[in-house]
């Protein structure tokens, strides 16, 4: 960790704020606790982004590391279009290291999320595009070894778990058994999930833990971006061909 590190860990007040918001999800409570939100959540999140930024850019210089709400840091307010009479605030806060694209939810993203009583971090898709996943399955069938190399750490994995919806009727015909779990997925992400509030998230060493674990995920991240780039190029070629013929 750098001598210039600023992140000191999330305090108990940060988790207490999220717990309070969970029970009092209204504007009056939020405004009366805004100082805690700013000092115990937003400021540490900005410091965490700053401390991780050099490493994140070393993995992919296209990733946005701007320590600001709406860039790497989530907004606490729910989208007004989706409220429908429900509570106005989210129950968790997160950091997302993503390329600044309109379709970032369809792109591989590194993330850290904290709840009132736990935290998670990992990498994957919010919602993988269908054409990219079709190409993903095609490549798994053709060259499973390349993918297995990208997830070599996962064979004896005890920290990250694979999540995401899957197709129930896909059969394993001709698919290497080591990759069939992935082959069935509609979208997926790997997460170190539901960690209780501990001495890691409340201390500066969280930066080193995340750096080490994100580095393990980096080969898979690059594999997925390689496929996404190919899928996007194929789609643009199809659109251009259709338009000009």
**What are phi and psi for residue 32, nearest 5 degrees?**
-75, -15
On whether the CB atoms of residues 214 and 59 are closer than 8 A, the answer is: yes
> So what's the pLDDT on residue 170?
87
Whether pLDDT at 14 is above 70: yes
In a domain, 3, yes or no: no
> So what's the pLDDT on residue 16?
97
In a domain, 2, yes or no: no
In a domain, 196, yes or no: yes
User: For position 132, which CATH number holds?
Assistant: 3.30.930.20
Whether pLDDT at 5 is above 90: no
DSSP string covering 204-216: TTHHHHHHHHHHH
| DSSP SS3 for 97 | strand
Whether pLDDT at 240 is above 80: no
Kindly indicate the confidence band of residue 235, based on its pLDDT and cuts at 50, 70 and 90. Answer: low
Kindly indicate the confidence band of residue 81, based on its pLDDT and cuts at 50, 70 and 90. Answer: low
Whether pLDDT at 2 is above 60: no
Alpha helix stretches (DSSP H) within 70-197: 130-142, 144-150, 180-183
Reported as a single tens digit per residue, the pLDDT across 117-157 is 999 999 999 999 999 999 999 999 999 999 999 999 998 88
Task: Write out the residue range of the structural domain in which residue 93 sits.
Answer: 12-238
- Residue 213 Rama label (left phi>0; alpha psi -120 to 50; beta): alpha
In a domain, 5, yes or no: no
Whether pLDDT at 239 is above 60: no
Percent of the residues in the chain that have a pLDDT greater than 70, as a whole number: 91
Reported as a single tens digit per residue, the pLDDT across 99-119 is 998 788 899 999 999 999 999
Strand partners, 121: 112, 192
Cα–Cα nearest to 99, from 109, 85, 114, 88: 109
Give 171-175 contacts, CB < 8 A, sequence gap 24+. 174/141, 175/140, 175/141, 175/144
> So what's the pLDDT on residue 231?
83
- CA torsion 12-15-20-23 (nearest 10°) is -140
- As given in the structure block, the two tokens for residue 28 are 């009056």
Domain count along the chain: 1
In a domain, 19, yes or no: yes
Reported as a single tens digit per residue, the pLDDT across 56-77 is 999 999 999 999 999 999 999 9
């Amino acid at each position: 960790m750098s001598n210039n590190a600023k992140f000191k860990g999330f305090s108990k007040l940060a988790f207490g704020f999220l717990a309070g918001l969970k029970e009092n999800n209204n504007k009056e409570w939020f405004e009366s606790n805004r100082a805690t939100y700013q000092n115990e959540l937003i400021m540490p999140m900005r410091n965490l982004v700053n401390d991780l930024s050099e490493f994140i850019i070393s993995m992919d210089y296209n990733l946005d590391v701007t320590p600001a709400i709406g860039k790497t840091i989530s907004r606490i307010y729910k989208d007004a279009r989706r409220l429908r009479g429900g509570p106005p605030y989210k129950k968790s806060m997160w950091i997302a290291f993503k390329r600044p694209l309109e379709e970032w939810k369809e792109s591989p993203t590194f993330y850290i999320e904290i709840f009132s009583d736990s935290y998670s971090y990992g990498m994957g898709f919010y919602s993988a595009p269908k054409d990219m996943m079709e190409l993903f399955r095609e490549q798994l069938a053709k060259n499973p070894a390349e993918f297995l190399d990208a997830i070599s750490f996962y064979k004896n994995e005890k920290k990250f778990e694979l999540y995401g919806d899957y197709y129930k009727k896909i059969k394993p015909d001709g698919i290497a058994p080591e990759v069939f779990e992935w082959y069935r997925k509609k979208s997926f992400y790997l997460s170190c999930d539901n960690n209780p509030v501990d001495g890691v998230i409340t201390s500066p060493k969280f930066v080193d833990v995340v750096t080490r674990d994100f580095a393990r995920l980096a080969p898979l991240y690059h594999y997925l971006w390689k496929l996404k780039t190919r899928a996007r190029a194929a789609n643009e070629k199809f659109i251009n061909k259709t338009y000009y013929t």
